[in-house]
A and B are shown apart, each in its own frame.
Chain A
Amino acid sequence: MNKQEAILEYTLRIADDSLILGHRVSEWCGHGPILEEDIALTNIALDLIGQATNFFDYAAKVQDQGKTCDDLAFLRLEREYKNVLLVEQKNGHFGDTLARQFFFDVFRKSYFEALSKSADKDLAGIAEKSLKETKYHLKHSSEWMIRLGDGTQESHDKIQESVNHLWKFTDELFFMDQVDELLIKENIAVDLESFKSAWTSYIKEIFQEATLTIPTNGWQQAGGRKGLHSEHMGYALAELQYMQRAYPNMQW
């Protein structure tokens, strides 16, 4: 694998994470538990799709096959998407969505902080711009974890269950392979191990205030980064890709 191929693969991973999570969160539009959260979630979805657009634009440029960011976002096959399993999980109830968002936001804040120092100017630029949005996402999801955890007995039980269910998808956020190895040597990619303990300690800090516990069962699930997705991915893609496939080259 040469450097260009590695950069393409690396960028698609980040783009897919933002795209699939943005798509999932957008499913809340019109269904939020209260008006303010409906707007908050759709804002977050728009931020994520915006990030995805920037990353896909760059990926298309790196790939240099005349494809557009839309081609990459909407027309690949399931096994060509490289997002982590965490982001494709179903929305569930509000707590499930916020727990998923929380684990992702804690990761993304450290990740974009590091990526904004990348030797690749395009990736660094997108990361720096995305970091501001991410800081707000993290503030929003952290505060909800605290309120749901240290809320009523019902909210506490529900959010703890969300945490227990999603914990097995968190390790994959820190997945690295030869793509990362190659690009870390070039100071382009981020060494994810470098902030794994910061990620864990921030979560412990918020969980303490939220009176929540980290699951003791350490079993982890992975596969997304290799294109091996969960049973939910097909349904998500069917909705995501429908318009582009039903009306190829449509304009609006």
Chain B
Amino acid sequence: MSSNEWPLWEVFIRSKQGLSHKHVGSLRAADAENAINNARDVYTRRSEGISIWVVESKLVAASDPKEADSLFDPADTKIYRHPTFYDVPDGIMHM
């Protein structure tokens, strides 16, 4: 990898009706302001969103895929963690 490359940034966009920023891709830019402008040009052309977050890729810490089974599989067999044994009364709308 050439050391002349601009740093890589991960781009997150929140849509007009959305509550959370979703990851849409990445791009290279010289700095944060440049990254936001580039994200606006590349990732919001078709009204995909109204808010942009950019984070330098090197600042994103991620779980190791090789550890996926020990991190996530144990939760599968623990049904007592889900609140599924309650009778929800008829009047309640959003549960």
Interface residues of A (CB under 8 A from B): 34-37, 39-40, 43, 136, 139-140, 143, 147
Q: Shortest distance in angstroms between A199's beta carbon and chain B's nearest beta carbon?
A: 22
Q: Is the CB of B28 within 8 A of A36?
A: yes
Residue in chain A with minimal CB distance to B40: A136
With a CB–CB cut-off of 8 A, which chain A residues contact B42? 35-36, 39
Name the segment of B29-37, B60-68, B70-78, B84-92 touching the other chain.
Answer: B29-37
B55 at the A interface (CB under 8 A): no
B15 at the A interface (CB under 8 A): no
Q: How far is the CA of A147 from the CA of B80 in the complex (A)?
A: 57
With a CB–CB cut-off of 8 A, which chain B residues contact A143? 33-34, 37
Residue in chain A with minimal CB distance to B27: A36
With a CB–CB cut-off of 8 A, which chain A residues contact B34? 143, 147
Q: Shortest distance in angstroms between B1's beta carbon and chain A's nearest beta carbon?
A: 16
Q: Shortest distance in angstroms between B70's beta carbon and chain A's nearest beta carbon?
A: 39
With a CB–CB cut-off of 8 A, which chain A residues contact B33? 143
Interface residues contributed by chain B, number (CB under 8 Å):
13
Q: Is the CB of A36 within 8 A of B41?
A: yes
With a CB–CB cut-off of 8 A, which chain A residues contact B37? 40, 139-140, 143
Q: How far is the CA of A147 from the CA of B33 in the complex (A)?
A: 11
Q: Shortest distance in angstroms between A131's beta carbon and chain B's nearest beta carbon?
A: 17
Interface bits B19-57 vs A (CB < 8 Å: 1, else 0): 000000001111101100110111001000000000000
Known contacts A36-B28, A40-B41; can you find 9 more A-B pairs with CB under 8 A? A35-B27, A36-B38, A36-B42, A37-B38, A39-B42, A40-B38, A136-B40, A140-B37, A143-B33
Q: Shortest distance in angstroms between A35's beta carbon and chain B's nearest beta carbon?
A: 7
Q: How far is the CA of A161 from the CA of B28 in the complex (A)?
A: 27
Q: How far is the CA of A180 from the CA of B29 in the complex (A)?
A: 43
Q: Shortest distance in angstroms between A237's beta carbon and chain B's nearest beta carbon?
A: 29
Q: Shortest distance in angstroms between B54's beta carbon and chain A's nearest beta carbon?
A: 12
List 19 A-B pairs, Cβ < 8 Å: A34-B28, A35-B27, A35-B42, A36-B28, A36-B29, A36-B38, A36-B42, A37-B38, A39-B41, A39-B42, A40-B38, A40-B41, A43-B41, A43-B45, A140-B37, A143-B34, A143-B37, A147-B31, A147-B34
With a CB–CB cut-off of 8 A, which chain B residues contact A39? 41-42, 45
